[in-house]
């Protein structure tokens, strides 16, 4: 082969591979960036709103807590002494499906992307954070209203008095929680929040708002079940059953 032909072959090869390598590098950088974002959120102790790219495998679906199936929820209602007929009809008819959706839409408008997410007098706390992190913000709020500075974030205006409230309605510090009954991080946060409420007494209250994640198959139904229980004045009893059962 002549030197001219060899040179031509090298040029063709280089012209073909350079753009291919560039595209591959850009694609790799994009994937690494997305993975880093996912890891950052999960290390904060939360479940992200974004569903997996592919449907869950049957084995993963089977691992979901069976106590949040329709039969399991109805069993909880019976254990709590609720009117069976009224509760079952409420759940089966999807009476509070819109209420649950409205909560989630409102959470999304506030910037909620996963569970659990809390607003302590409007100061956002993402994930099942250690008790000390909640207390840091609460103490600052009780002292001089400087919770946003303590958290290093901005305060948002969050509507209260819409969901079920545990604690004094006159509490100086009002926590609004967006949560999912099938989220393991929310289960962990539940224990932390109970301890916080016990410590601060009438100074702190918690208001529950629904944010069921799409890839948790029982979460939406469980959220509706809590509202059906609320109709019979037993929201928090059902709430505790689902997180602790």
pLDDT tens-digit map of 30-79: 344 434 434 444 445 666 554 333 333 333 333 344 589 999 999 999 99
The verdict on residue 50 lying in a domain is no
Alpha helices in 129-218 (DSSP H): 131-144, 147-151, 184-200
10/99 same-domain check? no
Can you tell me the distance from the alpha carbon of 57 to that of 133, in angstroms, rounded to the nearest whole number? Answer: 36
The verdict on residue 81 lying in a domain is yes
Arithmetic mean of pLDDT, 111-121: 97
Q: Using 50, 70 and 90 to split pLDDT, how confident is the model at 12?
A: very low
What b/e readout covers 182-221, taking b as 16+ CB neighbours within 10 angstroms?
bbebbbbbbebbeebbeebeebbbbbbbbbbbebbbbbbb
The verdict on residue 64 lying in a domain is yes
Arithmetic mean of pLDDT, 86-111: 98
The verdict on residue 25 lying in a domain is yes
181/97 same-domain check? yes
Contact 45, 128 (CB under 8 A): yes
Total H helices, total E strands in the chain: 10, 7
The verdict on residue 51 lying in a domain is no
pLDDT value of position 245: 77
> In terms of residue numbers, what domain contains 37?
3-43
The model's pTM = 0.77
73/29 same-domain check? no
The verdict on residue 115 lying in a domain is yes
10/91 same-domain check? no
Domains held by the chain: number: 2
100/150 same-domain check? yes
The contacts of residue 83 (CB under 8 Å, 6+ apart) are 232
23/63 same-domain check? no
Average pLDDT, the chain: 83
- CA 140 vs. chain centroid, Å, equals 25
The contacts of residue 241 (CB under 8 Å, 6+ apart) are 76, 79, 80
**Region of 118 on the Ramachandran plot (φ > 0 left; ψ -120 to 50 alpha; else beta):** beta
Comparing 6 with 245, the larger pLDDT belongs to 245
32/152 same-domain check? no
165/201 same-domain check? yes
The verdict on residue 121 lying in a domain is yes
Residue 184's CATH number: 3.40.30.10
The contacts of residue 185 (CB under 8 Å, 6+ apart) are 45, 46, 47, 115, 116, 127, 128
97/188 same-domain check? yes
pLDDT tens-digit map of 201-226: 999 999 999 999 999 999 999 999 99
β partners of residue 174? 205
Percentage of the chain beyond pLDDT 90 is 72
Give the number of other CB atoms < 10 A from CB of residue 73.
26
Give Dmax (Cα) for the chain: 93
71/22 same-domain check? no
């Amino acid at each position: 082969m002549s030197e001219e032909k060899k040179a031509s072959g090298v040029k063709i090869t280089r012209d073909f591979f350079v753009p291919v390598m560039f595209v591959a590098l850009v694609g790799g950088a994009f994937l690494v960036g997305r993975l880093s974002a996912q890891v950052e959120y999960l290390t904060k102790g939360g479940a992200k709103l974004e569903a997996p790219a592919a449907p869950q495998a049957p084995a993963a679906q089977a691992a979901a807590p069976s106590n949040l199936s329709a039969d399991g929820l109805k069993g909880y209602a019976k254990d709590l002494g609720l009117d069976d007929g009224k509760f079952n009809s409420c759940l089966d008819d999807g009476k509070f499906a819109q209420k649950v959706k409205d909560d989630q839409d409102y959470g999304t408008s506030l910037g909620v992307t996963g569970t659990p997410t809390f607003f302590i007098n409007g100061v956002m706390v993402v994930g099942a954070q250690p008790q000390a992190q909640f207390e840091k913000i609460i103490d600052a709020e009780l002292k001089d209203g400087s919770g946003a500075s303590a958290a290093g974030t901005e305060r948002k205006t969050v509507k209260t008095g819409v969901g079920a409230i545990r604690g004094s309605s006159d509490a100086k510090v009002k926590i609004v929680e967006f949560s999912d009954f099938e989220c393991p991080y929310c289960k962990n946060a539940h224990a932390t929040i109970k301890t916080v409420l016990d410590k601060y007494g009438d100074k702190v209250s918690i208001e529950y708002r629904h944010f069921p994640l799409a890839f948790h198959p029982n979460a939406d139904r469980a959220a509706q079940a809590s509202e059906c229980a609320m109709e019979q004045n037993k929201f928090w009893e059902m709430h505790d059953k689902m997180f602790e059962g």
